Chains A and B, each alone.
Chain A
Amino acid sequence: MKFFHLVLANLGRHKRRTLLTIASVALALFLFASLQTVVTTLERASQFGGARRLVMTNASGFILPLPLSYANRLSAGKGITNVTWANWFGGKYGDNKAFFAQFAVDAKSYLEMYPELVVPEDQKQAFLQERSAALIGVRLLDRFGWRVGQNVTLQGTIFPGDWTFTIRGVYTPSDAVINDDMMLFHHEYLEERIGRPGIAGWYIIEVDDADNAAATAKTLDDQFRNSSAPTKTGTEQAFNASFATMWGNVSLLMGTIGLAVVFAILLVTANAMMMSARERTGEVAVLKTIGFSDGTLFSLVMVEAGFIALTGALIGLGGAKLLYRLSNFNAGGFLPGFDVTTRTLVIGTGIALLLMLASGLVPALRAARLPVVQALRRVE
């Protein structure tokens, strides 16, 4: 500890260079944490899904609807305990055309299907009883300054026109993977406004036993195979995973380029740290003359490298953790909220320690092994 002021003094020798080196490490690790978080978030999104929930879409494509009449046939199916349905609405809000996810849902069955959406009982009842009511995620309250009882008007894109809803409830997800910035409203309201075409975007089907999910899915698809709208049914997890796969190649590309950038920055950082140590050959010789041992000098250089690497890690990894937590970034509602996982923090810290070794080891060994007489001759 009594040598720590020596470490600090050396770090303060070229303040700008030290700060830039720390900033490089911080940036590299911030990038690493961000990229890793994209990957972990996609993984998390793809892994979400109730074990007993199936999702049925149109076999020709997710964007094509299914007949609403399938609902009764599905409900009558063997081993099926609940059926609900939803439609993507795609409205925009306000002059800024703000975007967030809105779904027209069969309200009662939908809330039964998703107990993860926690709503106060009085608000739930108010929502269920009013056709133009909306249930919003808690984040939308902060984002738009909305309040319960307020009327909000969206501009429809898929379903044109102004759509006015009354906010009757606010849900809080009990599982962080579920977005907290969605808006749900009655499918019946949508049907009524667009002339009752009798369509549903997709169905969510609950089965009594998770072990029967695959068999049930096949049975249902067989049932509608020769109809006007053949279906494609799979587990909710597989459905969510298919969205994640859409991001898959992007994330691979980002990961590859990003990691190359991280590696390049780390090399530059290591070089700066080694250069800084090389400049002090004469001083190392003086310290050896005074009686500083090889081990002490080795430790001093390593502590210096460690200080830079770990301070950079603290700023980069801590910054990423704080930024994503405070901003609640969720890719416009397409992904669960970004959160830098503990595993990412541990790996990032490991990279910082590796950087400490990579950048500190060579100059530390050189300092420890430096022959004083040769060093002084070189400096003179």
Chain B
Amino acid sequence: MALVQIRDVHKVFRRDSERIEIFTGLSLDIEEGSFTALMGPSGSGKSTLLNLLAGLDQPTSGTIRVAGAEVSAMTPGQLAAWRAQHIGFVFQHLNLLPVLTAYQNVELPLLLTTLSKKDRDERVRIALGVVGLGDRLKHYPRQLSGGQEQRVAVARAIVADPTLVLLDEPTGQLDAKSSQEVLSLLQQLNEEFKKTIIVVTHDARAADRAKTVLHLEKGILVERQTLALS
């Protein structure tokens, strides 16, 4: 059974009297351990789909299941608890709290668990080590480069060992070198640590690292490419 099952999802936004249909019956499966890139022009519904998968937004109708749990039927309170356990999310920017160090930012998801301080410390150090920032524990976001900030955000997204790692344009504001570093990191997380990753991107280089590329246009899945990686 697919890790993510999207069935006949409709999503309608209302802007004043205007009715904007984003999805009109989207159905889609995403397998566990996959690395999926969601591509498409602006307004195609990529970010909306990511928000629905993260339980940040609810479909107007249809069902979304992640690891057997029906996300689309959860209350806001249940969703918060579910997100803490199952979702790691990376935004394009504004990821990190500027008043917290890299260590404290990565620790945030673990504050919602029952882990002891010692266990939290161990996990934070491992996560920052994985993203290659084990020596930047006490640095504040302003003391990090854009690429390093995104890597800290990735560390925070994986520190609680979530079911799904979702990224919304993670390289959108990075230079080429930093983008490559982040993309390599995502690939490593997928291949070495078997994390299921879904990334929304406009960046063809990012799509090249994915195993599957889904093309959305006006809320419709128009193409599904499965890539053979070298």
Contacts and interface: CB of A to CB of B under 8 A. Distances in A.
A204 B224 CA distance: 106
Given A282-B94, A286-B94, A294 B76 contact: yes
Most A Cβ at <10 Å: residue of B54, B99, B156: B99
Interface string B88-120: 010100110111100010001101100001000
Contacts of B99: 9-10, 12-13
B161 interface: no
B85 A9 contact: no
B67 interface: no
A145 interface: no
Contacts of A373: 51, 56-57
A290 interface: yes
A9 B80 contact: no
Nearest to A10: B99
B94 A290 contact: no
B83 A290 contact: yes
A291 B56 contact: no
A294 B112 CA distance: 13
A296 B77 CA distance: 11
B75 to A, nearest CB: 11
B81 interface: yes
B112 A286 contact: no
A291 B94 contact: no
A292 B80 contact: yes
Contacts of A288: 56, 80
A33 B51 CA distance: 52
B97 A293 contact: no
A51 B189 CA distance: 88
Given A2-B111, A291-B109, A373-B56, A9 B89 contact: no
Given A2-B111, A289-B56, A9 B91 contact: no
Contact of A291 (B80, B91, B98, B104): B80
B57 to A, nearest CB: 5
Contacts of B104: 5, 9
A290 B89 contact: yes
Contacts of A292: 80, 84, 112
A2 to B, nearest CB: 5
A264 interface: no
A10 B100 CA distance: 9
Interface string B36-62: 000000000000000100101100000
Contacts of B97: 9, 283, 286-287
A290 B57 contact: no
A287 B81 CA distance: 12
Given A3-B111, A12-B99, A13-B99, A290 B54 contact: no
A291 B84 CA distance: 4
Interface in A1-21: 2-3, 5-6, 9-10, 12-13
Nearest to B109: A290
B77 A289 contact: no
B81 A293 contact: yes
A176 interface: no
A196 B5 CA distance: 112
A292 B97 CA distance: 14
A294 B76 CA distance: 9
B80 A379 contact: no
Nearest to A289: B89
B165 interface: no
A287 B76 contact: no
A372 interface: yes
Contacts of B87: 289, 291
Given A3-B111, A291-B83, A372-B56, A286 B76 contact: no
A63 B109 CA distance: 78
A354 interface: no
Interface string A274-299: 00000000110011111111101000
A376 interface: yes
A289 B112 contact: no
B80 to A, nearest CB: 4
Contacts of A372: 51, 56-57
A290 B54 CA distance: 10
A143 B152 CA distance: 64
Contacts of B94: 282-283, 286, 376, 379-380
Contacts of A283: 94, 97
Interface in A322-380: 372-373, 376, 379-380
Given A9-B97, A293-B77, A380-B94, 17 more contacts: A2-B111, A2-B117, A5-B104, A286-B91, A286-B95, A286-B97, A287-B108, A288-B80, A290-B156, A291-B81, A291-B85, A292-B80, A292-B84, A293-B80, A372-B51, A372-B56, A376-B94
19 contacts: A2-B117, A5-B104, A9-B97, A10-B99, A13-B98, A283-B94, A287-B108, A288-B56, A289-B83, A289-B91, A290-B108, A291-B80, A291-B83, A291-B85, A292-B80, A294-B77, A372-B56, A373-B51, A376-B94
Interface of A: 2-3, 5-6, 9-10, 12-13, 282-283, 286-294, 296, 372-373, 376, 379-380
5 nearest CB pairs, A to B: A291-B84, A9-B99, A291-B83, A293-B80, A372-B56
